[in-house]
A and B are shown apart, each in its own frame.
Chain A
Amino acid sequence: MSEQTQRSEEPSSSSKVLVILFWGYVSLPLAWGVYETSKGVVALFTG
């Protein structure tokens, strides 16, 4: 295993853009879901 060990090479700039885009793709709906849920949570503290 040690003889064949591969090291991670520096990711290309295009892959960094892809990472940002894909993280945005999953984060935005999640943020919307958290926001919608938080609106309901306010009722717990305001009665």
Chain B
Amino acid sequence: MSKERITAGPGFNRWLIPPAALAVHLSIGQAYAFSVFNEPLTRVIGINEPAQGDWGIPALGWIFSIAIVFLGLSAAVFGKWVEDVGPRKTMFTAACCWGAGFIVSAIGVWTHQLWLLYFGYGVLGGIGLGLGYISPVGTLIRWFPDRRGMATGMAIMGFGGGALIGSPLGVSLMGLFETDSSVGVAPTFITMGGLYFISMCLGAFVVRVPAEGWKPEGWEPPPESEQSAMITRNDVHVRDAHKTPQFWLLWVILCFNVTAGIGVLGQASVMIQETFGGAITAAAAAGFVGLLSLFNMVGRFFWASTSDYIGRKMTYFIFFGLGTALYALVPLFGSGLNSVFFFVLAFGIILSMYGGGFATIPAYLADIFGTRYVGAIHGRLLTAWAAAGVLGPVLVNYIREFQLNAGVASADAYNVTMFIMAGLLVIGFIANFLVKPVDPKFHMSESGEEEREEASSTSASSSSSKPAEA
């Protein structure tokens, strides 16, 4: 399971790596669909309706929040370990944490101990989320030096797609296990935990790392004179990355891009109903949320792949430039023109760029900091996600409340928020503009390179004695 023993032998097909990464990301992406369990969990005792002693929604809401916090923490703390031990051990550890999180949560439901759900899904599951999220990133970038954006975009698309599977799967299983004496959540947790564990282990079993110096057939890195100055041929050590202004500029870029999307995603159903009054039913609003999820997922692949051709910096200029314009126009499309079509289209594009921001950032990091520690640096950058997870919903929800309390009509309650979001994207645009190549003093020294070569020679000798089969 060690990194040295999973170096790919000759003839290994690199197109096995994206589905291996997808097997992990589609599993952990279920996190975005956890809300389907909230309502049934409020009637574990009462079965048909909440009874005395049943859990309330606010207490249950903490399960998802704890999981996201531990996602960010584990990605930041274990990023270096992920680079050291390789993707297989990390994916397997993620599978154990994610699967065990469901099992412990099931025990929590059976015994009606809420802390077991906090610990199970929140802490254990959150660590599984963080490890699983970053585990394939560095590996994909090394297998696809010619298409870094597309490769990581495919994997991170899986995280968006995981909710599309997890939501109907959870609902179907609860329907299957529901009885007169049970809401069916615990056996659903057991089943999903088992399925996800097996799926993630399959990904871990298939994944391989390329041999040192491996290149795709027929591909040569462009000559230095022709290559963009924004793509480095050097590596920055993870311990030095946060000392560079580039790391913090990219942190701001990710944070504000995510803030703008995550607040809307959480409030989309209520927002479209309030903006268009009685014209949008609850079922239609749920359809709007589903459509945004599709745009979010497709945008991850589309924008990350596009960035391979137009460059990462240009891609983020589009996110921030077009995003600013669309946020500023939303009040016009909504309460101004009363156009559901343009309102939905604007948010669809915005959410595609929200997903695109997640999916393109690993390739941007590899361009700026090199590929050696990209997984670990990506892990630390994900703290921006945790910050945005608080900032986005707070901005949308609290400003709405403030507007309504001030007597603003509900159809106009989001207008100020939209302009603030546009303002955040302007700051993101400026941060992106300021991203320049890293100062050479941060590049890994010769001794660092020697250390790397020493590790790779160990890897090569190990792989030559035990070549991995495709």
Residues on A close to B: CB < 8 A?
Answer: 1-2, 4-12, 14-16, 18-19, 22-23, 25-26, 29-30, 32-34, 36-38, 40-47
Contacts and interface: CB of A to CB of B under 8 A. Distances in A.
Q: Is chain B's interface secondary structure helix, strand, loop, or mixed overall? A: helix
Given A11-B12, A19-B16, A26 B290 contact: no
Given A26-B19, A36-B167, 12 more contacts: A6-B214, A7-B217, A11-B12, A15-B16, A25-B19, A29-B165, A33-B166, A37-B167, A37-B294, A44-B287, A44-B290, A44-B344
Interface stretch (B110-118, B278-286, B377-385): B278-286
Nearest to A29: B165
A30 B161 contact: yes
Interface in B188-217: 202, 206, 210-217
Contacts of B261: none
Given A8-B14, A15-B470, A23-B19, A30 B26 contact: yes
30 contacts: A5-B213, A6-B210, A6-B211, A7-B217, A8-B215, A9-B217, A12-B470, A15-B13, A16-B13, A18-B206, A18-B470, A19-B15, A22-B23, A22-B206, A26-B26, A29-B165, A30-B22, A33-B161, A33-B163, A33-B168, A33-B169, A34-B294, A37-B293, A40-B290, A43-B281, A43-B283, A43-B287, A44-B288, A44-B344, A47-B281
Contacts of B470: 11-12, 14-15, 18
A36 B164 contact: yes
A16 B16 CA distance: 9
Query: What is the size category of the interface that chain B forms with chain A?
Result: 35 or more
Q: Is chain A's interface secondary structure helix, strand, loop, or mixed overall? A: helix
A10 B11 contact: yes
B212 A4 contact: yes
B213 A1 contact: yes
B10 interface: yes
Nearest to B25: A26
Contacts of A18: 13, 16, 206, 470
Nearest to A16: B13
Contacts of A45: 287
B158 interface: yes
A22 to B, nearest CB: 4
Contacts of A11: 11-13, 470
A42 B287 contact: yes
A34 B448 CA distance: 46
Contacts of B293: 37
Contacts of A30: 22, 26, 158, 161, 164-165
A24 to B, nearest CB: 9
A44 B77 CA distance: 42
A12 B11 contact: yes
Contacts of A47: 281, 284
A26 B168 contact: no
Given A19-B16, A22-B19, A33 B213 contact: no
Contacts of A15: 11-13, 16, 470
Contacts of B20: 22
Contacts of A46: 284
